[in-house]
Structure 1
Amino acid sequence: MASDGTRFIFNAGRTPAETFAVVGFTLKQSLSSLFRLDITVACNDPAIGFKQVLDEMATLTIWQGETLQRRVRGIVTFCEQGDTGKHQTLYTMTVHPEFWRSSQRQNCRSFQNYDIAYIFAKLLKEMDIRTHDTLFRRPHPEREFCVQFMETDYEFISRLAAEEGLFFFEEEYLKENAQKLTFADDSSVLRSLGSLPYNPNAASESSTYCINTFRRSAQIRPAQVTTQDYTFTAPGWPVQYNEYGRKLAYQRPEYEIFDYPGRFKDEQHGADFARYQVEGWRNNVDFASGTSNSPQLQPGRRFALTDHPREDLNDVWQVVSCMLTGSQPQALIGSSGQGTTLNCEFHVIPAIQTWRPQPLPKPLIDGPQIAIVTGPAGEEIYCDEHGRVTVKFAWDRYNKANEESSCWVRVSQAWAGTGFGNIAIPRVGQEVIVDFLNGDPDQP
């Protein structure tokens, strides 16, 4: 329950301050997902226009007395006018982070020889999201050819983040009046909330933030991941990587995920992808859940649990997901309900562990596609030492028709093998049919 003096304030769109009085809200957050704030407000104006709030910024603030405890910013994605009473009209709104806009843009495009930091920055800039951080502690090499194919920008970014072992969350900076979309690859970058005592009798100390309930859990998950791939430039390269998870004492090690193709062409990506996958599959092996009256518990934060009777639980934990529920019935004129309440349900894992998302499915191209062979101006034949050519796909709206329009694409020949073969190089400007290895858009 909330402490004495807790209050909620909500502002939205192009409406004057104090237009809305918060009746209640539910805020759902988890790592590597878009938060959702569903809020019900009361207003003296029975005719607030949707144009005033939809796709506009909104802010929910939580105060304890005169101290700001939490701020949540986002855009209004849904608004509903409810019943109108004698004095007030109810409105229900849904708020998502600005990053939600990426879920409304589906595209086909390619990136050549760029790392994920560049790709993310470019896409976010196009969505006018300029305040983001990339807190990386590990190398993330460039990708030779990286294709977004019939995916929303959000699906594309989320998939790449999962492949590279990244998680993301909205980081709040109360003093700086800022909120940033943050990508990270290690739990060491998470900020600490300090300590929170365990107190199952919250009513006796309602003015102090504490943990009311805390339940420890464990479950069986895959124990190892093996990835395998093939590259024609080094056919004898043993492109197989195996990675075991940690804490296998209470499960069978033969629970294995075999992933082919592994979607890597170098040792750095091969070893990293196997480790990121097993850590993603095992991100909920050892976890705890509970409730608290603290509004500050949120994904991307750590806290130290104290005063629990089971000593091994008095440790540092990181928040993976939470649901914050607030009620302020006195916002309704004439209401005789109870006072303000606030409750947080959360899931946490040990802070020493880095949470990673489980692998996400990659789009598959379900058949051959038409493309035009490209090259430098004035050239009839343009190929590399393997006879590969560059092409421009029909769906490519961004790259020019030149030698940089795609990665090098292998050309199928009528007869090939040691001591045998012929070769026919497609000419610049000719139409060709392009297939994809295993349907992978990154491997034409």
Structure 2
Amino acid sequence: MNAIFKQSDRMGSLSTILGKDVLNLLRFEGDEHLNGLFTYRVEALAKTDDLDFNALISTHATISLKSYDLPETPFDGIITEGEMLGQGDNGWRYAFTLKPWLYLLSLRRKQQIYHNKTVVEILDELFSPYSGLGKPAVEKRLTGTYPTLEYTVQYRESDMDFATRLMERFGISYHFKHDTGSHTLVLTDTAISHDDLPGGAREFLMADNGKQSRDAEHFWDMRPSQRLTTGKIRLTDYNFKTPNAAMETDRDAAAPYTEGSIESYDYPGDYLAQGAGKDVARLRVDQERGQDPRHRALGDCASLRAGHKVKVTGDKVPGVDKTLCLSARHTYASGGYGTTESGEPSFEGQYLLMPASTPLAPERKTARPIVQGPQTAVVVGEGEIDCDEYGRILVHFHWDLDKRYSMRCRVSQNWAGKGWGGMVIPRIGMEVVVEFLEGDPDKPLVTGCVYNGKNDTPYPLPEQKTKSTFKTDTHRGTGFNELRFEDENGKEEIFVHAQKDRNTKVENNQSERVNVNKVESVGHNKATEIGNNLFEIVDGDMELRVGPANKGSFTPVGADKNTQGIPAVPAMIGAPGKSKRGVGDLKVSVENTKTQVIGKDHFEIVDGDKDTQVKQNQTTNVRKKIRIDAGDEILLVCGKSRIKLSENGTIEINGQKIMQLGDKLVSVQSDTIKLN
């Protein structure tokens, strides 16, 4: 096998990193698509059977085709597969597959969060690791204005799927332009931004039987096609910040045929205001109507690539003038090697064209990832509690390796009304349960909290499994508030703990019934203000003690330090049926001074006896009158002196000395006066 391999005088050639004519092009079949990855399949001939695939895989290879008197057309790609096919007549045959550098994005899967970026900025970030694979790797020909996205998630999908999903969502198309050793990803959003095919118009000459021989690139078969598509889009959405705003919008682009206005309705429409919804509806209509009409063509236009605009002249085809190439299949076969003649090469192309005036918008084909079921995440933010005016919090998902935080997530509450309902803000470090509206990773909603190995339960489990509690933690301090329920049989209890103040407001009546004992312990002052009447009924005895010596009579001295309250104290003051029942006695003990001020009258009724004991002095000061009435007698005793007034009118005055003094007059009047 001493064949001479030389590609310079052939229609097609292959260049690789291995050097000139090391691999020689035998066959080439290439599929290109607007908004799709190209695939080039190459069969080549080499002199040796020991090619180093490691040196070739992921490097550039370029097929160059000569077409009439036009400049060579390069087809550049990254070698993604290589295979030795075996020995041929004049060397060793190899097969290679070439794809664009964009294909590498399909090999990388990750989860990543983007904050406050436009779709273009996100694409720039996705493409930046591959910037060295083209000269340049990316060219942007975008004319539209793209909104800043508060929160966008790449979730369990490849970089390629994520990029195409975003481009389809915002109406960005892509194709490739080629050079030797390089190819460039071109982003567009209008047909105007696409290049015209070099060399001007291409002629269509209808062939009676097979292709016609010409001296220039041309088409020999052109077949129009059309299909039924959706003709109207209706959308709506919901924005919790403006819940009453009108969100419904529609767009009509009915086709002229019967049933050309079939409506497609969708929710959610992926917009936050009705104005933005109109743009989305317009794009959706363009994506539907842009799929019709089409022209399928055959020819030898080797220079016509997916993404080129081309004007078609020659034989008239309805609806064909300026077209945009949507896809192209290039098929090339070289002549044999090893002879002095290069052989007869052949080339044929199959093309899918659409009128350049048809709306250009990529079809929505890439599915949005769906989050299957809830996830858990950890609350993050500044300080101990971080929320906004809606109670939204930030979380970090376990899958996020970059330690980025989520968007502000709404938190599901047990009740939510207009200025009323429940509100509990998950705090920094808590593990929360996150669900996703419509399964959309861009729309997280916190629905609950869970304990873990770091955040313990309020009480040890399963030992305290009968306790149900709502226990808080003091912000920037130590302490807690708690409402706890104990359901252990025989130990049922409702426990309330206020770390500082507890305030109760009752707009109407409050009723309280305690079937056994009640103990109330106040560590400092107590004031009771009653706007009208006070009624207190004690069925047994009542005792009132005043003075510091009585502290601790019922409650322990350290009751103020006991965070669990004084639950044992009520049992200490007697149990029903066991403690002595009072008969209605009232005992008031005042350790120091007792002052009683009555603004008007004072009435006191005693059905039995009344005994007043004063250990020192008693002073009674009456500004007007004193009247003392007794049914039987009045007895005044002071040492050996006594005065007795009997009910029969007798007055007895006894004493060792009785002195009767009158500064002005002493008058004694009686029917009989006896003096001994």
Report what 1:340 is aligned to. Answer: 345
Query: 3-state DSSP class of the match of 2:11?
Result: strand
Are 1:10 and 2:18 an aligned pair?
Answer: no
Aligned partners of 1:307 and 1:314 also within 8 Å? no
The one-letter code sitting in structure 2 at the alignment partner of 1:434 is V
How far apart, in 2, do the equivalents of 1:335 and 1:79 lie?
29
Aligned partners of 2:68 and 2:216 also within 8 Å? no
The one-letter code sitting in structure 2 at the alignment partner of 1:438 is E
Query: 3-state DSSP class of the match of 1:264?
Result: coil
Taking structure 2 as the reference length, the TM-score comes to 0.61
Report what 1:372 is aligned to. Answer: 378
Aligned partners of 1:37 and 1:95 also within 8 Å? yes
Report what 2:297 is aligned to. Answer: 290
How far apart, in 2, do the equivalents of 1:11 and 1:324 lie?
18
The one of 62, 65, 84 equivalent to 1:62 is 65
Whose strand proportion is higher, 1 or 2?
1
Root-mean-square deviation (CA), in Å?
A: 2.2
Bigger Rg, structure 1 or 2: 2
Shift in CA distance, 288/169, structure 1 to aligned 2, threshold 3 Å: same
Shift in CA distance, 294/160, structure 1 to aligned 2, threshold 3 Å: same
How far apart, in 1, do the equivalents of 2:437 and 2:58 lie?
41
Report what 1:136 is aligned to. Answer: 142
Aligned partners of 1:329 and 1:335 also within 8 Å? no
CA drift at 1:119? 0.5
Report what 1:240 is aligned to. Answer: 248
Report what 2:195 is aligned to. Answer: 191
Query: 3-state DSSP class of the match of 2:20?
Result: coil
The one-letter code sitting in structure 2 at the alignment partner of 1:141 is P
Are 1:82 and 2:85 an aligned pair?
Answer: yes
Aligned partners of 2:253 and 2:261 also within 8 Å? no
Aligned partners of 2:229 and 2:260 also within 8 Å? no
Aligned partners of 2:246 and 2:274 also within 8 Å? no
How far apart, in 1, do the equivalents of 2:354 and 2:370 lie?
34
Within 5 Å, which residues of 2 pair with 1:23-422?
A: 23-64=26-67, 68-128=71-131, 131-172=137-178, 179-193=183-197, 194-201=200-207, 205-245=213-253, 248-267=255-274, 269-310=276-317, 312-331=318-337, 333=338, 339-359=344-364, 360-376=366-382, 379-400=383-404, 405-418=405-418, 420-422=420-422
Query: 3-state DSSP class of the match of 1:435?
Result: strand
Q: Which moved more, 1:214-223 or 1:272-281?
A: 272-281
How far apart, in 1, do the equivalents of 2:389 and 2:419 lie?
18
Question: What is the identity percentage for the equivalent residue pairs of Structure 1 and Structure 2?
Answer: 24
How far apart, in 2, do the equivalents of 1:65 and 1:306 lie?
18
Q: Which moved more, 1:345-354 or 1:151-160?
A: 345-354
Query: 3-state DSSP class of the match of 2:239?
Result: coil
The one-letter code sitting in structure 2 at the alignment partner of 1:323 is R
Query: 3-state DSSP class of the match of 2:411?
Result: coil
Aligned partners of 2:113 and 2:152 also within 8 Å? yes
CA drift at 1:268? 5.1
Q: Deviations over 1:199-248 (max 9, x none)?
A: 235866432111111111111111112222111111112222212235x1
CA drift at 1:361? 1.6
Aligned partners of 2:332 and 2:345 also within 8 Å? yes
Aligned partners of 1:105 and 1:152 also within 8 Å? yes
Aligned pair count reads 428
Query: 3-state DSSP class of the match of 1:265?
Result: coil
Shift in CA distance, 211/240, structure 1 to aligned 2, threshold 3 Å: same
Q: Deviations over 1:338-380 (max 9, x none)?
A: 611111100010011233222232111011111111112xx11
In the alignment, structure 2 segments of 5+ residues that lack a partner are 1-8, 445-676
Taking structure 1 as the reference length, the TM-score comes to 0.91
Q: Deviations over 1:164-212 (max 9, x none)?
A: 01110002368xx853101111001011122111123586643211111
Aligned partners of 1:373 and 1:429 also within 8 Å? yes
CA drift at 1:253? 4.2
Query: 3-state DSSP class of the match of 2:165?
Result: helix
The one-letter code sitting in structure 1 at the alignment partner of 2:315 is H
Aligned partners of 2:100 and 2:183 also within 8 Å? no
Report what 2:559 is aligned to. Answer: none
